[in-house]
Chain A
Amino acid sequence: MNKKLLLAIALASTSISNISAQELSISFTNLTHGSHFTPLLFSAHTEDQHIFEINTPASTNLQAMAEGGVISGLLADLTALSADSVANPAEGLMAPGQSVNFKLSTQEINSKLSMTAMILPTNDGFVGLDSLSIPTEAGTYTYYLNGYDAGTEANDEIINGGGAPGAAGIPADPLGQNGTNASGVINSENNTHIHIHRGIIGDTDSTGGVSDLDSRIHRWLNPVARLIIEVK
């Protein structure tokens, strides 16, 4: 009897939320040739909310994402704001060329779509989307996303495992094509606001040089990702 009642309540609440909900079919592709993406975070939210904004300082939780790929802080922020989120749909790192397909159900009030994921290997580079107006007419919509710099860490291009917020260096190169013992490209940066990433310098010296990244492998040209949204 109780079980039946619970089922009835569950069905009722499902149908109520469906009245104002939109279910988006999302396809997301890493377009780069030599960079991985850390776990993706997609979120539909209200007009006055942002995961990040160009030309403003990164939040602490955005910094954790951009420097170490940690999205739990951002996800908690968004959940507290009644955003509709999908965390880590690709279940881990996304390799160059890899795509993932998933659904995102949104409440009507959450009319803006944002996403982030760290670009690895970088110091604090990330692929992002800030507050796209979610299309409401049926159709298939394609968007191309750029690489951003969180402005929280100098792009020294040294791979030393440093992924914690504030720790210098790059956590790792999932492609395993990095060098070692680099002296570092740069020690400090003037622009501490979020901006379009200027790209990787790199070098071809695998046992020294200024960078542990390979200029032939770890650079990219924008765009770095493709987003396809299907509205039914």
Chain B
Amino acid sequence: MIKFSSKVFLNSILTGSIMMALSACELAPEQEYSISITNLTHSQPLSPPVAMLHKKKFSFWSIGEEASEALEIMSEGGDGSGLLALKPQNPQYQGSVPLFPGESVEFTLNTNRDNLKNLSIAGMLVNTNDAFSGLNGIELLDLEEGQSSVYYTYTYDAGTEFNSELNGTIPGPADGGEGYNATRDDVTSVVTYHSGVVSADDNFTHSTLSSADKFDNPTLRIVVTAH
């Protein structure tokens, strides 16, 4: 038994052709996914969304862990390009305009690798301090041609900026204030779900937000179809 397996091992080292054949096996037929994102909120524009196909082990964020700098920049200021730059070779999409409430955006991602079939999507709810919504590495491997999966997404808090709602701290049209700031001053410093905004109409008189900026889960509907 031992002798046999070591012989195979040796052979595969010596013959480059076997190695090439093995890596060729990883290539699957080209798979196209069309992805549609709909903003379900009352008046929270979503920053230009970013999407990526990646390996199972990779993620844009993890609940209970501190946000990466790229996630902080996206969730405080709406610029998701840093998240895409984490894996520049991967199939990816970068939105060019915000996704407004009630609107949808559609795009496609292609891959011919079975190990790049986890999908992540992210965008900031721009009338907040550091709220974002999206998908965290959902598995597409079992989605067969012609089939669709529908996801309703929850809303996350990056844990990088206190939800002060104060004038000048929120980049969206409700305030026009600051986006990304490297200072981390939240009471919980890890990624969690978001607790929603309070607003001036809910007795927080110093809030720059109004009842129009309130949201509840879910915040996005995402439909993924395999072609």
Contacts and interface: CB of A to CB of B under 8 A. Distances in A.
B200 to A, nearest CB: 11
A115 interface: no
A96 B190 contact: yes
A177 B187 contact: yes
Nearest to B217: A221
A16 B159 CA distance: 49
A219 B216 CA distance: 12
A33 B75 CA distance: 15
Interface residues of B, number: 27
A175 interface: yes
Interface string B187-218: 11011111110100011101000000000110
B154 interface: yes
B188 A96 contact: yes
Contacts of B196: 219-221
Given A98-B64, A226-B63, A216 B198 contact: yes
B204 A221 contact: no
B156 to A, nearest CB: 9
Given A31-B63, A222-B217, A217 B187 contact: yes
A204 interface: yes
A200 B165 CA distance: 18
Contacts of A98: 64
B203 A97 contact: no
Contacts of A67: none
B79 interface: no
Contacts of B163: 216-217
B76 interface: no
Interface in B175-189: 187-188
A220 B204 contact: no
Contact of A216 (B63, B154, B164, B192): B164
Contacts of B188: 33-34, 95-97, 175
B159 A97 contact: yes
A71 to B, nearest CB: 23
Nearest to A225: B193
A171 to B, nearest CB: 19
A216 B203 CA distance: 11
B187 A31 contact: no
B72 interface: no
A215 B64 CA distance: 22
Interface in A18-51: 29-34
A97 B217 contact: no
A196 B51 CA distance: 34
B43 interface: no
A177 B187 CA distance: 8
B204 A204 contact: yes
A99 interface: yes
B195 A220 contact: yes
Given A204-B206, A215-B198, A216-B163, A221 B192 contact: no
Contacts of B65: 97
Contacts of B155: 221
Interface string B137-169: 000000000000000001101010011110000
B187 A175 contact: yes
Contacts of A220: 193, 195-196
B195 A32 contact: yes
Contacts of A30: 192
Nearest to A216: B163
Interface of A: 29-34, 95-99, 144, 175, 177, 202-204, 215-224, 226
Given A215-B204, A220-B193, A223-B154, 15 more contacts: A32-B195, A33-B159, A95-B188, A97-B188, A97-B191, A175-B187, A175-B188, A215-B202, A215-B203, A216-B164, A217-B195, A221-B196, A221-B217, A224-B193, A226-B63
8 contacts: A31-B192, A32-B195, A33-B157, A97-B63, A97-B188, A98-B64, A216-B164, A216-B165
3 tightest Cβ-Cβ pairs between the two chains A and B: A97-B64, A97-B190, A31-B193
